[in-house]
Amino acid sequence: MNLLSFDIEEWYIEKEYYGGRKHRYAEFDKYWDDILNTLDELGIEATFFTLGKIAEEFPHVVKAIVGRGHELGCHSYRHMWLTKLRREEALKDTKSAIDALEQCAGVKVLGYRAPAFSIGEHNKWAFEVLKECGIEYDASVFPVQRDFGGFPSFKSDRPSIISYNGIEIKEFPIPVVKILGKEVVYSGGGYFRSFPLSYIRHKMKTTNYTMTYFHIGDFISEQKKMMTRQEYEIYFKEKGTLINRYKRYIKSNLGTVSAFDKLKSLFKSTEFMSLRQADKLIEWDKTEKIKIK
């Protein structure tokens, strides 16, 4: 099964950090319409992990997700990394996000993805927070090292059940592949933009599980400027060294020119489904249970 997911945050990030430039909103709306129309044409249902602030400040985005028959998931309230929050702050953030989304859409939110996949070795309590908030399945585990943490000790890159401190929650992790002996991700974001489409198609046809993840920003080809030190530190909550800012600059721009056409081509040659569709198909009582200490 190939799962299709999007992380929806750009409208809020633009308003919060860049003042709400009209040409940027127009770009987001253009690609948003193109994505939804393409999914309609091909009969594909996706999961859209969405910020609570999007529901409050850009409700047309949330209403379009539900109105077009897609699944609405939670992507936190303000796009703050869970690694930067204390447990009580994360609980408040998650409850606020779910409430905003459900009030706007009139549907129950069952799925969650942490901003920047920020659940890992040092904040496993996040799974307890999700369970307390009524989340039934999570898609935050990035089972390799990455800029903002990752979860390299996680023992599975297939749908599994996490057992932690007396609670259980279904998990849809990001799959990995081995290249030159190193485990890497290939199916979303900058990784999708970097790998040849032929390779991605091949992996999806020869494996029984793929989780994709995309952002509107993945498809905007206008060259993005390197962040100033202040912009970087405000957004990423870490030191804005030249190396850090240059790495982010490269990752933000790499492959954006052809990314949308590449994605549409993949849509036409590959079957996809949402997380809620997959949740109904998986025999969870037969899946691996991952016990986290």
**Residue ranges covered by each domain of the chain:** 2-283
Alpha-carbon separation of residue 157 from 38, 178, 190 (angstroms): 29, 12, 19
* Bridge partners of residue 7, in order along the sequence: 49
pLDDT in tens, 121-172: 899 999 999 999 999 999 999 988 776 668 888 988 999 999 999 999 999 9
The mean pLDDT of the chain is 89
Q: What is the pLDDT of residue 36?
A: 96
38 DSSP β-pair partners:
none
The whole-number pLDDT of residue 225 equals 60
User: Measured in whole angstroms, how far is the alpha carbon of residue 193 from the centre of its chain?
Assistant: 15
pLDDT of residue 272 exceeding 70, the answer is yes
Asked whether the predicted pLDDT for residue 187 surpasses 50, the reply is yes
Residues 121 and 141: their CA atoms lie apart, in Å, by 10
Q: Stretch 104-133: mean pLDDT, rounded?
A: 96
CATH homologous superfamily of 2-283: Glycoside hydrolase/deacetylase (3.20.20.370)
Residue corresponding to tokens 């904040």:
123
pLDDT in tens, 27-39: 999 999 999 999 9
pLDDT of 104 over the 90 cut: yes
> Model confidence at 178, in pLDDT bands (50, 70, 90)?
confident
Which residues fall within 8 angstroms of residue 180, CB to CB, at 6 or more apart? none
Q: Going by DSSP bridges, is the β-strand pair 182-184/71-74 parallel, antiparallel, or unpaired?
A: unpaired
Provide the whole-model pTM. Answer: 0.89
Q: Which long-range contacts (CB under 8 A, 24 or more apart) does 264-271 make?
A: 264/38, 265/197, 266/197, 266/200, 266/201, 266/204, 267/38, 267/39, 267/42, 267/44, 268/42, 269/201, 270/2, 270/201, 270/204, 270/205, 271/2
pLDDT at 253 over 70: no
* pLDDT the model gives residue 70: 98
The average pLDDT across 41-55 equals 97
For residue 168, what is the enclosing H or E element?
Answer: strand 167-171
CA distances to 68, 227, 250 from 64, in Å: 6, 31, 32
Cα distances from 94 to residues 49, 56, 136, 275, 288, in angstroms, run 13, 14, 13, 19, 27
